């Protein structure tokens, strides 16, 4: 399964938690190291923010 993208207006902490749970559940064999899973989630968040804007900033 692909790594999930952040949802519109989803907070960073919520996304990282959801992403880590997804990788742990579905892709643990491919990414056995927890630090590697976290890095994937944070980089996916950063990429998505660069492409779509930052929802937390849009709330202000």
Domain boundaries, the chain: 12-58
The predicted model gives 17-32 an average pLDDT of 94
User: What pLDDT does residue 54 have?
Assistant: 65
Half-sphere exposure of 37 (CA within 13 A, CB side): 21
pLDDT exceeds cutoff 50 at 60:
no
Phi, psi angles (nearest 5°) of residue 41 = -65, -45
User: What pLDDT does residue 25 have?
Assistant: 95
Residue 34 vs residues 10, 30, 51: alpha-carbon distances, Å: 22, 11, 26
CA–CA separation, 4 vs 20, rounded Å?
Answer: 10
The predicted model gives 17-46 an average pLDDT of 95
pLDDT digits (tens, 9 = 90+) for 36-52: 999 999 999 999 999 98
User: What pLDDT does residue 59 have?
Assistant: 39
Q: What share of the chain is helix, strand, coil (3-state, %, to 5)?
A: 65, 0, 35
């Amino acid at each position: 399964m692909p790594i999930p993208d952040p949802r519109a207006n989803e907070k960073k902490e919520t996304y990282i938690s959801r992403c880590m749970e997804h990788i742990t559940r579905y892709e643990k064999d491919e990414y056995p190291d927890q630090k590697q899973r976290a890095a994937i989630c944070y980089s996916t968040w950063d990429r998505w923010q660069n492409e779509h804007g930052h929802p937390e900033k849009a709330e202000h």
